[in-house]
Amino acid sequence: MNINGYDDLQDALSDVIKENNLDIVSVHSLLMSSFDFLEPELQSASVAIINFEELNKSKSIHPSNIQVNMKVALDAIFAVKSIFSAEDFSLVLLVLKAILTLINCSTVQINKEEAIVLFAVYRLKNSNVDGIYDYIKRLKEENENISVINREAIEQSLRSLEKIKAIELVDGLYSVRDIIILKAS
């Protein structure tokens, strides 16, 4: 799911809104005052987590250009009250659910081959498909968790990683755009 604005966020939260019988106007007002969807621009930060023990659990995280103002949200919910209603607490839970929804929408699971290819691009700094293929063959000799990938699978992984903006192709050479975190369980 891709969230590009208030309506998308409100749609993603529709189950929570219905379950807690929340007033849609209040919810919309709360979301509009607490979340700012900024103009699309280059990602300011992104990270890829490569888990060597379980390569299929690797992921790439690309936060959206969304700002959350928790002070405004909590002030709007608890404004000058000494007794809090169930709806007040439901609205707090809604804001927290909205934040979790945005985090989940910014996480892309990458498969085992993509994780290996991303690691190879990371280690090589700038390389073409042949260099990546040769490096993966050498990696296989050092680590039994890594399998040799054919050129076609490497090219497919490169396209997928490029699509999620984890890598970029400049002058025939691939380089990493993400901050890479190597994780050993």
Main-chain phi, psi angles of 59, to 5 degrees? -150, 160
82 pLDDT exceeds 70? no
| pTM above threshold 0.85 | no
The pLDDT score that the predictor gives to residue 96 is 87
The torsion angle over the Cα atoms of residues 185, 108, 72 and 80, rounded to 10 degrees, is -70
Distances (CA, A) of 16 to 24, 66, 160, 184, 185: 11, 21, 33, 36, 35
CATH 1.10.10.10 assigned to 109-183:
yes
Neighbours of 156 (CB within 10 A): 16
Q: How far apart are CA 170 and CA 168, in angstroms?
A: 6
pLDDT of 116-160, one tens digit each? 899 899 989 999 999 999 999 888 888 776 777 889 999 999 999
Q: How far apart are CA 114 and CA 97, in angstroms?
A: 30
